[in-house]
Structure 1
């Protein structure tokens, strides 16, 4: 069985853990009323705030800029206000309620969808209570307005995203050969984005 967390860390490169802070995670989880997945927290601590391979953004709960707690609050509020139920009769597999086994959608709550990451293509990756009966799977709001479910932990979702699989709906692959590109987000207005690359991955 693949250790996807180990595979992600090996692919991206040695963790920096610049902002690792258990107290920041404890505050965020107390606010949410639930614990976030351990693999997700390990990856965020290792590299965030960062943009990975041109598209995927990860924020961190211990930083003043690119703050994960603020991102979760803002994203949850926006989805709560603008979520519009549509007619899923012809495409029930894209209904996030069916994907997650929920009667109604809520955002930013233990019984609903918690935003973990986003892309510059308008996609949002949510932690769901379950996805197709898999506990703690990933539910993705795709850039085209559809939703997709991935019955797997975050580390596996990220690994598959990085190797170029469709991880945000149909034909959503963003495959870049060579080392993973890492863009560390600037922490002050005067700071520039720092670009680095992971190890060779034979791709």
Structure 2
């Protein structure tokens, strides 16, 4: 991730600040998601994660994790979430993801740094083609953090909303994908297998044991399109969360 590879910034017309609203928008865009919802909100020990990471985590992410287990969107984007009693496993996942980021993605002095550097990147999701979805941890509180997306082709970009709102707008087609394939608004339950993988733990969608979300270093070749999502969905807007404004890097 070099400064020269920055594609630009996309900004929602209205940043959603209430976790409940952000999740409601995601659920409206991905109707099947509600079928995976926990019967009751989970009680998670956020202190284990936040004290060890040295930072609080955004409220929209915590609200999502308390209501949903790990899932995949479009059999492409894995959203790993902590489970009650397994917070230490999730912490190991965050740490392993930071190690992968530092070893294979960031270059000191030539682009963004990894957390815990000031404003550093903290991964929270990953695609099956190794794209990274991260928080840029700058701002007065975690509620001010923005999303940074890094493609395995080398390009990367910012989205100045929260993680849950990003998922909603990406699934709706309201974003320019910018080095990402279009995504089907379909949610798949995932079962984590093994430990010590990246945050973005090795996982198996229950409906398709052939699919693996395994951590990989960024290859040097150009990315291939995900054949499962070859047909681009038309962009839409006008929902209550609005479409995004796109500002390519100068």
Structure 1 length-normalised TM:
0.69
Q: Who is 1:78 aligned against?
A: 100
In angstroms, what is the RMSD of aligned CA positions?
3.6
Secondary structure in 1 matching 2:63: helix
Q: Is the 8 A contact 2:146 2:162 kept in 1?
A: yes
Q: Which moved more, 1:157-166 or 1:26-35?
A: 157-166
Q: Is the 8 A contact 2:121 2:134 kept in 1?
A: yes
Q: Who is 2:68 aligned against?
A: 47
Structure with bigger RCO (C-alpha 8 Å, 6+ apart)? 2
1:127 pairs with 2:135: yes
Distance 1:79 1:122, change over 3 A: same
**May I ask how many residue pairs the two structures share in their alignment?**
175
Q: Deviations over 1:73-116 (max 9, x none)?
A: 011012222345399xxxxxxx753xxxxxxx133566411111
Query: Any unmatched runs of 5+ in structure 2?
Result: 1-13, 195-203, 209-235, 237-250
User: Aligned to 1:21, which of 43, 46, 56?
Assistant: 43
Q: Is the 8 A contact 1:28 1:69 kept in 2?
A: yes
Q: Distance in 1 between matches of 2:83 and 2:103?
A: 27
Q: Is the 8 A contact 2:188 2:205 kept in 1?
A: no
Q: Distance in 2 between matches of 1:154 and 1:161?
A: 10
Q: Deviations over 1:101-145 (max 9, x none)?
A: xxxx133566411111111121111111249xx930001111211
Distance 1:21 1:109, change over 3 A: farther
Q: Who is 1:4 aligned against?
A: 22
Structure 1 residue 4, shift from structure 2 partner: 2.8
Structure 1 residue 17, shift from structure 2 partner: 6.0
Distance 1:164 1:61, change over 3 A: same
Structure 1 residue 194, shift from structure 2 partner: 2.9
Q: Deviations over 1:175-202 (max 9, x none)?
A: 32xx6232322568xxx74349xxxxxx
Secondary structure in 2 matching 1:13: helix
Q: Who is 1:36 aligned against?
A: 57
Q: 5 Å matches for 1:134-149?
A: 135-149=144-158
Structure 1 residue 33, shift from structure 2 partner: 1.3
Structure 2 length-normalised TM:
0.58
Distance 1:61 1:40, change over 3 A: same
Q: Who is 2:9 aligned against?
A: none
Secondary structure in 2 matching 1:125: strand
User: Aligned to 2:168, which of 126, 135, 159?
Assistant: 159
Q: Distance in 2 between matches of 1:141 and 1:20?
A: 30
